[in-house]
Structure 1
Amino acid sequence: MNQVKETTIRLKKNFINKITKGYPLIEKNAVIDTNKLTHEGMVIKLVDNNNKFIAKGYYGKQNKGNGWILTYDEQTKIDYDFFRDRLNKAINLRKEFYNNQDTTAFRIFNGEGDNIGGLTIDYFDGYYLINWYSEGIYMFREYIIKALSELTDYKGIYQKKRFNDGGKYIDDDDFVIGERGNFPIIVKENGVKFAVYLNEGAMVGFFIDQRDVRNIIKEKYAKNKNVLNTFSYTGAFSVFAAKGGAKKTTSVDLANRSRKKTVEQFEINNINADEQDIIVEDVFKYFKYAVKKQLLFDLVILDPPSFAKSKKHTFSASKDYTNLLKEAILITEKSGIIIASTNCSSFDMKRFKEFVDKAFHETNTQYNIVEEFYLPTDFKINTKYKESNYLKVLFIKKS
């Protein structure tokens, strides 16, 4: 890339204080000179009406924003050295993960938490996966890929482009450089194995932000328990529960692929999948079946997507989590545990606890929150941007 030209853009007065205090998102309605925003990836120098410097960022459409702040220093150039420095700092913060032989999948760069919004990079046993969340940050790919390749001893680098008009994954060849992986790659998380695919669409096989939650299930909550894992995807929670000595696991997910993928995860961990229940069905339909058959579980895991749609149900975490919990309460044993999890960034833990309280109040059931979890340490957050701390997990004991 050539030297990046900077374009001066005026900020509306009521947004200036927020940004000077460290808020990293350039909101869509924060800019006066929208006519100057001609192409994503342009570096923008934000000023007030008196042309006083505020910050530098880049223009890139993502969710509720028109880009991200990159620096509050007017003299800093947004060039290769800038991106290399940011990546180097992030990698150094994760040194302990690189040295952990029992966990070979983790995040090395977490967007605005590592001071470049719109970009995440994950590590999978020598392979790196870059997620580009806007066309704007993708315009800097040469700098970022070059820096990553120079700073790490990589086997191969893959990418996911997540910035088409619908905000969905762009399906094309994800391979960037190095050697192509022989998939699945088998990674470890606290000694448990997972099959990972960097070449099969948007998802890779499991969500590494739930590492701490899965581990405590194995170590503390699963032994001799009858476990229900809803919205189970590829069965990661079920595998950890089984490894922790669960009496039995039941995994329920609507996606047809979930059965084959869940069987695979069990088998690579030497767990007989035939001894576990793997059900391809709408979770809400399964709840009704469980009530009808008077099924009860010692441990119920709820980890729904923020938004999901089936033929009969539309689920929105911000609107429907209370009702989801009410369904789960009905099939949880007395003194059983419900693990309620959400990655929805539109509400905080306080509001999430209100959903929980409402659900138990409306079912006339007593409860006690015994554990709570947020993102693991490799998912560095930006304290000035609460949405970056999106993961909220509660272990709720039914009285």
Structure 2
Amino acid sequence: MTSTAIDIAAEASESRGTGITLSGVTKDFGLAKPAVDDISLRIEPGEFMTLLGPSGSGKTTTLNLIAGFESLTSGTIEIDGVDVGALPAHKRNLGMLFQNYALFPHMTVAQNVAYPLRARRVDKETIRRLVRDVLELVQLTGRDGDYPAQLSGGQQQRVALARAVVFNPKALLLDEPLSALDRNLRAALQAEIRRIHHEVGSTFVFVTHDQEEAMSLSDRIALFREGRIEQIGSPQQLYSAPESLFTARFLGDSNVFALDEPPRSGTATWQGTRWRVDAGTIAAHPGVREHAALVVRPEGLGIAQSATDVPAGMNSVRGRVRDIEYLGSYRSVQLTLGADVPGRAKIDPVEQSVEVGDDVVVWWHPERQRVVAA
């Protein structure tokens, strides 16, 4: 980025974005359940917050409530401490990036990007400077005279991103902006969005159903389920310390053991097998006291040919190898654990040798497990 570009980044760095606070937010469309059901969430200034969840979980409705495209049934939304519940969308000064780009086909790239500046009655010289600088930011210098039809899908999304940040909004709302792109292009634009977030310093609120995308981009993730927030935390927190079985299964692969009863006195039982459980690995979720499951990620499992090969102090269970996939840096081993539970382990392709049909002992360190609400 040259010294002439980016007044946008320089100006944004002074404020580092805006804080957004949702308190008791509900949106009821008159269906069986509210689309958004009494959620509270604090998004810090300059944070990259992702709203993640399956279709129909309430994440897009929540984004639309923040944007002002939907009205609240109850609750409050504050932007920098100001209640914006009664403000229309165009007065909230938020940038918006959509899945379908929403570019004007009869306008050039420069005209599309300049549109929000003209709407704000910015003078022509400032518009020219800001459009030039933001096109450099999104790496589209020299394409200002092209029309959307002359651009690839990825380039069109860059134009839409430039238009969303050119007026220096304190927050940018992104509604599944990469879902229409192929895998390689998505990865490239994820890197661009991450870079631009760091450079402009705005608060980013990003909606996706893609767990890998959320893990790659986010400072924190709010995981939605049936209109409520299931868990909030950093990608590492949600992956390594899920509170519920829903979280454990939605973010990454999990080996799941439905316990015979909640853990007691530092132990848990599954199909009659007793395992050690450390207090620090038990989720704080109150549901753990009613129905609990023990979760181990595939990379946490080891495989031994017999019980005598299992390191001391490990939890273990008998299993059988059903299939093996070679994936370069590791092998993915499909297993049957105990009597009938499917499982998966990631093992080193050189150090460990197993074959399909082998009866094995699967083991893990008790610190690598998590007891969650089932």
TM-score when scaled to structure 1? 0.23
Question: Over alpha carbons, which structure has the higher Rg?
Answer: 2
Higher RCO (CA < 8 A, seq sep 6+): 2
TM-score when scaled to structure 2? 0.25
